[in-house]
Amino acid sequence: MTELTRTGVEGLDDILNGGIVKNSTTLVSGNPGAGKSILCLQYLYNGVEQFDEKGIYLSFEENEDDLREAAESIGFDNWADHVENGDIKVYDKRKLLRENDFSSSLEILLDDFEDEQYDRLVLDSLTMFELFFDDEREKRTYLLKFTDILKENELTSLMTNEQGAVFPDTDIGLENYLTDGNIYLIQTPTDSGVNRYVWVAKMRKQNIETDIFPMEIAEGGLRIHQNASAFSMMSEDDAPI
Ligand SMILES: Nc1ncnc2c1ncn2[C@@H]1O[C@H](COP(=O)(O)OP(=O)(O)O)[C@@H](O)[C@H]1O
Ligand SMILES: [Mg+2]
């Protein structure tokens, strides 16, 4: 039987048919502001709070303080305690970019994996991570190597991807093929704000619900609703998005 890692995000584990496949890597794609970083924070926070699993947050975008403030603002009140006692380990951009190449950062991570058992890892964002590399070939090699290392260390991982369009005009990036799962967070503008949706496009080895589900972001983080029929690619006034 496939072992699953529950996200603990309301509604999401149901549409994942129980959770994310253990030791897999899932890409979380979406526009800026779609909720990718909040989902990452929530995934690690729930890991500690609900499942007694330790996590690592690699952030190429924010500093440790920004992450803590984001976590606290959404109601993850014990975030700082978990970081303090090592249940959540944060490598922020200051730490990650201190090393001038990714293999040095990787060495530090590998040391950590030897000393301590972690279950969950987040890379936020893959888009920024890729800026480490000068050419496409080097980028692919490292991405492959990195996803292998995560599997070897039995980590169940989320990687965020800044991606505006669900169906981009350009070729779909390599990262879509390298990862085991693909979750899109979608936001469409309305008169009064945005409508938010989640779409699990792929989850290897899992019989997932492939409908698009409405979601909201509020105190407590992401919450996914189960009434799939509400989705429309048109905004409320029927103007094309
Ligand atoms: N406390 C909150 N209540 C409601 N919505 C929030 C709250 N905090 C953040 N958000 C929403 O979440 C969005 C940011 O999500 P974030 O995960 O940082 O996006 P991404 O990482 O995809 O760029 C904000 O634009 C805001 O709309
Ligand atoms: Mg973000």
Over residues 169-225, the pLDDT tens digits come to 555 566 666 789 999 999 999 999 999 999 999 898 888 888 999 999 999 999 999
- The number of domains in the chain is 1
* Domain-located, residue 240: no
Percent with pLDDT over 90 in the chain:
59
C-alpha 18: how far from chain center: 17
On whether the CB atoms of residues 41 and 221 are closer than 8 A, the answer is yes
User: Is the C-beta atom of 37 inside 6 A of ligand 1?
Assistant: yes
* Tokens 């991807």 found at: 161
- Looking at the chain, the number of H-run helices and the number of E-run strands are 9, 11
Helices (H), the chain: 12-15, 36-51, 64-73, 79-84, 93-98, 102-115, 126-129, 136-152, 174-178
User: Is the C-beta atom of 196 inside 6 A of ligand 1?
Assistant: no
Q: How much is the pLDDT for 165? A: 62
* Domain-located, residue 241: no
pLDDT band at 229 (very low <50, low <70, confident <90, very high): low
- Answer whether residue 239 shows pLDDT above 50: no
* Domain-located, residue 190: yes
Q: How much is the pLDDT for 95? A: 85
CA 6 to ligand 2 center in whole angstroms: 21
Q: How much is the pLDDT for 106? A: 80
Q: Are strands 212-218 and 4-5 parallel, antiparallel or unpaired?
A: unpaired
pTM of the model: 0.91
User: Is the C-beta atom of 35 inside 6 A of ligand 1?
Assistant: yes
User: Is the C-beta atom of 38 inside 6 A of ligand 1?
Assistant: yes
- Answer whether residue 230 shows pLDDT above 80: no
* Domain-located, residue 165: yes
Indicate which atom in ligand 1 lies nearest the CA of residue 30: 22
Q: How much is the pLDDT for 223? A: 97
Sign of the CA dihedral with 99 first, then 102, 107, and 108 last: positive
* Domain-located, residue 185: yes
* Domain-located, residue 13: yes
Which residues, 6 or more positions from 27, have their beta carbon under 8 angstroms from its beta carbon?
Answer: 126, 158, 159, 160, 161, 175, 176, 179, 181, 182, 183
Q: How much is the pLDDT for 22? A: 96
Domain span including residue 152: 4-230
pLDDT in tens, 52-97: 999 999 999 999 999 999 999 999 999 999 999 999 999 998 888 7
Which residues, 6 or more positions from 51, have their beta carbon under 8 angstroms from its beta carbon?
Answer: 5, 6, 8, 119
* Domain-located, residue 236: no
* Domain-located, residue 123: yes
Nearest ligand by distance to the CA of 42: 1
**CATH number of the domain residue 181 falls in:** 3.40.50.300
